[in-house]
Amino acid sequence: MTLAQIANALGLALLTQEQDLTQITPSAGYTSDMLSCVMSGAPQKSLWITLQAHVNIVAVAALLELSAVIITEGAAVDAATIAKANEKNVILFSTPLSTFEVAGRLWELGLRAG
């Protein structure tokens, strides 16, 4: 399942620059809002769901080569975070949905914990 299919199914808003999302297939799903846990627990190339919108999420996503980050509950993402993500080629999505709902829907779509 590609990021394009996921973004379409969940109605995710892409915050970062346009790119071909049909070419990216997340390896797994992961969720935590504590970056130290993410750094040690998120599978490589996985799709990370969080409501933490601090700029440090970009560095963590780049470090683990995550497929994308879905920022939930409409958490405010500042311009500096988006600029940093574009610079590091990290894909950020935003959604008003809760982390629970996003994870549930991704599971239904067939994504697993890895």
Partner 1 sequence: MIPPLIVETALNKGIGVIAITDHNASANIEAVQKAARGTELVVLPGMELQTSEEVHVLCLFDELDQIRAFQQMVDASSPALPNNIEFFGEQFVVDDTGDFLRREERLLLTSSGLTIRRAWEQVTDLGGLLIPAHVNRKANGLIQTLGFVPEDTPIEILEISIHITPQAAVAAYPQIQGYPLIQNGDAHFLEDILGLNHLTLESVTVAEVRSAILGLEGRSHAIQS
Catalog residues that contact partner 1 under the rule CB under 8 A: 33-39, 52, 54-56, 59-60, 78, 80
Q: Is the dihedral of CA 24, 105, 66, 27 positive or negative?
A: negative
> How many angstroms separate the first and last alpha carbons of the chain?
14
Choice between 24 and 51, CB closer to partner 1: 51
Q: Is the dihedral of CA 101, 104, 108, 114 positive or negative?
A: positive
Least distance (Å) between residue 37 CB and partner 1 = 8
Least distance (Å) between residue 56 CB and partner 1 = 5
Choice between 45 and 54, CB closer to partner 1: 54
| Tokens, residue 36 | 């130290």
Least distance (Å) between residue 19 CB and partner 1 = 25
